[in-house]
């Protein structure tokens, strides 16, 4: 009975898409990531994994990613954050090239990136900012992979946030352009 129980607990840990978590992500976030990862894996066969490490001794993210990705079954994508050395990276198997936009996800620009703008924000609660950044980044990767395979995910969270953000951005920049043209009109044409 104990052997069966230990095998079940081992397979439950093995099934998680958060393959390393040094108390960075709370269980509710890990559950949401597992839900999105499981649905994507079932519909496309692609595994998207996350490793969140707080070890200050781990300095080379590339070496760390090579060790982790050697254990992953292709096709895979691995999102890694080393908080100790403040590094974030995404690696993937060769068959996933061109299926998602790594540069966009890791962009430091707030209107483009889904991870770095949240981590670098001046939040009072750094742990919450990291949690939000990893969840958003993971959701962005999963959404892009689902889109490249022409499937929709019921567990997705990313597209709703992006649509709302794009609408607000359009209204903001549209208002600035209208104010500028209004200024030009009254300054030069209406005398």
3-state secondary structure the chain: CHHHHHHHHHHHHHCCCEEEECCCCCHHHHHHHHHHHHHHHHHHCCEEEEEEECCCCCCCHHHHHHHHHCCCCCCEEEEEEECCCCEEEEEECHHHCCCCCHHHHCCCCCCCCCCHHHHCCCCCCHHHHHHHHHHHHHHHHHHHHHHHCCCCCCCCCHHHHHHHHHHHHHHHHHHHHHHHHHHHHHHHHCC
The Cα–Cα gap between 109 and 183 comes to 29
pLDDT in tens, 162-186: 666 667 778 888 899 999 998 888 8
Query: What is the per-residue pLDDT for 3?
Result: 37
Give the per-residue pLDDT at 142.
Answer: 93
Residue spans of the chain under pLDDT 50: 1-14
Q: Is 0.95 surpassed by the pTM of this model?
A: no
The confidence score (pLDDT) of residue 159 equals: 52
What is the pLDDT at residue 11?
A: 37
For 39-65, the pLDDT digits (tens) are 999 999 999 999 998 876 666 888 888
pLDDT at 162: 60
10 Å Cβ neighbour count for 12?
10
């Amino acid at each position: 009975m104990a052997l069966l129980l230990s095998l079940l607990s081992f397979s439950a840990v093995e099934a998680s898409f958060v393959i390393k978590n040094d108390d960075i992500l709370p269980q509710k976030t890990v559950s949401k990531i597992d839900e999105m990862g499981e649905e994507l894996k079932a519909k496309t066969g692609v595994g998207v994994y996350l490793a969140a490490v707080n070890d200050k001794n781990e300095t080379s993210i590339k070496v760390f990613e090579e060790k982790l990705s050697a254990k992953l079954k292709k096709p895979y994508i691995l999102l890694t954050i080393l908080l100790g050395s403040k590094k974030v990276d995404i690696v993937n198997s060769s068959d996933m090239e061109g299926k998602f936009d790594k540069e966009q996800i890791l962009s430091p620009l707030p209107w483009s990136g889904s991870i770095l703008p949240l981590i670098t924000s001046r939040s009072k609660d750094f742990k919450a900012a990291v949690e939000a950044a990893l969840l958003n980044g993971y959701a962005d990767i999963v959404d892009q992979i689902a889109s490249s395979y022409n499937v929709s995910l019921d567990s997705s969270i990313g597209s709703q946030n992006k649509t709302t953000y794009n609408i607000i951005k359009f209204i903001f920049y549209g208002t600035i352009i209208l104010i500028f043209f209004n200024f030009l009109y009254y300054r030069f044409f209406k005398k």
